Structure formats: structure tokens, C-alpha cells
Amino acid sequence: MNEQTPEKKKSLWNCITASREVSLLLVLIVLCALIGIRSPEFLTISNIGEILKNNAVIMIMALGMLCVLLTGGIDISITSTLAFAGMTVGMLFKYKLIQSTGLGFLIAAAIGAMCGAIIGAAIAYGGVASIIAAMGGMYIFRGLAYLVANSQWAGADALGSFTNFALSSNLGFGVINNVIVITILCYVIFFIVLKWTKFGRSIYAIGSNRTAAAISGIHVARVEFLVYVIMGLLAGFCGALSVTIYSSAQPNMVLGKEMDVIAACVIGGVSMSGGSGTVGGALLGALILSVIAKALPLVGIDAIAQNTVKGVIILAVVILNVVTKRMMDRSNLERRKL
């Protein structure tokens, strides 16, 4: 019969796919090195800090998307949630209804969590397909963002002290920018939750085998609901964050960027059918995406071609995954003794 010993299984392909993070890290390093050679200013600390700061929103939301994708769902309403929460906070500052930075973040996160809860309830308890619920949410929250804005927007002067948050580095002991500190903090928290807590592992369990998860006593619907709440919370939080980073609140902010978030996860090796993917992968996926975006003009590709290149890269990565998997299966089959 087709018995396989563990030694036989440790093929080269297995090694590569087993350490996806390592290969992604290699890609990232090679990418940075190549760009660094062409334009030395790329690898300066200030430039790297700038890249991280400008992509913090995508990176943080990639964490929530990771959880959503792990359960086998998808959420494309996140940028609408972001806009709604960000716009609300912007307007609150504009009309001097709040002044405290912390309160701004809190309100934004709360609004986001509420949006997530609506979608999550429809998906987890109402049996609505995640893409449909998320699409509905996308319309509703973007619409709400416009309503809140009421044909106005909040600029740097209106936001006042709130914009200082992204400029200062008091959370990072005066060395690291606040936004980057927050991003790192989010990654640390998610890394711990997803690896070392029961809740985190239930997310993986649901995506890996939903029925088995239910039988082993995991509250599938509750976990799924919470995952969307978390996604919403992060999106809302990022709403406030992007208001401070870009010093403006507009109802059409980060339109279409949900695709970048999903792309970051997919490049990072998160499976679209659930169950597999890591925080490290999501981080590296987001970093690679942002480095490429920054690097294209440096290597002479017109900024206008950026999206095309990004799309091609995502497509290439997913196709490469399939091809690798096929070759792996093939070589496993060939080793079977008949």
C-alpha cells in the first residue's frame, strides 16, 4: 500500500512551503537590497520610517483581514468602515465636539466595532454569504461617511492637535513615530492572540474544519461574529489613524484599498479558503507590497503602472502557489510504491 515514511516526505518542496515566511523574508531582503543599490536613499532610516507610516493603515487592517480569511470569509467593507469612522472623528474635531486624541481613537474604534458587529451578525447568525454581507456593508458605511461629511471635509486646521499624533513620537520614547509604535503593538498583540490563546486557535480550527470545530465544542458562530467585530474595530481605529496621518478627513478616503489589504494577506500566504496563514505572513505580504509600490518609480517604472504591476504580482503569487502545490502532489505520487 501507499505507506509513506516521514523521511520520504521531507522533500525540497515541503521545506519551501513549510517555511513560507522565510522565503518571503528572502524576497523582501533581496528586493530591498536591489533597490538600495540603485538608489541609496531608499535604505535610510527616515525613508523606511516614512514607508511604514504611510502603509500602517494597510498593515494593521491586514491583521483583521487575516482573521477573517482564516475563518474562510472575506470582508470588503473595511475601507467604508474606515471612512465612516474617520469622517465621524474628523467632523467631531472640526466642530470642536471633542478635543482629546485618545477619545478620537476610542470613538473611531467603537464605530468600527459596531459596523463589524452588523456584518458579523448577518454572516455568523443570519447565514448570509460573507461577500454579500460585506458588499452591503460597503454601500451602507460609505454612504454613512458621506452623510456624516455632509459635503464638507476636515483639513489640518480643523483637526488641530489631533494631527500631532502622527507627527510626534512620544509613545516611542521620542525615537519611533507613534504610528509605527501602534502598528508594532498591534502585530505583537495579534501574534500572541493567534498563537497562544484558545480564541486564536479556534479561528484556525473553524477555517480548517468547521464541523469538527462545532463537534469539539467551539462556539463557531460566536467566534466568527467576533472576528468581524475585530476586523471592524481595526478598520475604525485605522479611520482615526489615517485622519491623523494624512491630516484630512474625506468621505472617499482609501477608496478601493481593501484590495490592497486582501492582496497583502494573499501574498503573505494566507489561504482564501481558510485555516492557514500567519501573522508573520501578513506582515511580510504587506511590507513587500509597500516596498514594491515605493520602489517602482526608483527602478524607472512609471508610477502610473504601479497598479498593473501590483495586480500582476498578486496573480503571479497565487498561480505560483497552485503550481507549487501541483508539483508537490506530483512528486508525492511518484514516490508511492505500486
In the range 113-132, which residues lie near other proteins by CB under 8 A?
Answer: 122, 126-129, 131-132
Nearer to other proteins, 97 or 315 (CB): 315
Residue whose C-alpha is closest to residue 108's, from 172, 65, 60, 180: 60
Q: Which listed residue (172, 208, 221, 298) binds other proteins by CB under 8 A?
A: 208
Q: How far apart are CA 211 and CA 309, in angstroms?
A: 40
Q: Which listed residue (15, 29, 143, 327) binds other proteins by CB under 8 A?
A: 143
Distance from CA of residue 76 to its chain's centroid?
11
Q: Which three cell numbers stand for residue 20?
A: 513560507
Nearer to other proteins, 104 or 281 (CB): 281
Q: Would you count residue 217 as binding other proteins (CB under 8 A)?
A: yes
* C-alpha torsion 78→277→294→165, nearest 10: 50
Nearer to other proteins, 123 or 240 (CB): 123
The burial class, CB within 10 Å (0-12 / 13-18 / 19+), for 139 is: exposed
Residue 105: count other Cβ atoms within 10 Å of its Cβ. Answer: 22
Nearer to other proteins, 241 or 286 (CB): 286
Q: Would you count residue 220 as binding other proteins (CB under 8 A)?
A: no
Q: Would you count residue 311 as binding other proteins (CB under 8 A)?
A: yes
Size of the site for other proteins (CB under 8 A): 82
In the range 40-79, which residues lie near other proteins by CB under 8 A?
Answer: 74
Q: Would you count residue 332 as binding other proteins (CB under 8 A)?
A: yes
In the range 266-295, which residues lie near other proteins by CB under 8 A?
Answer: 266, 271-273, 275-276
Q: How far apart are CA 285 and CA 254, in angstroms?
A: 19
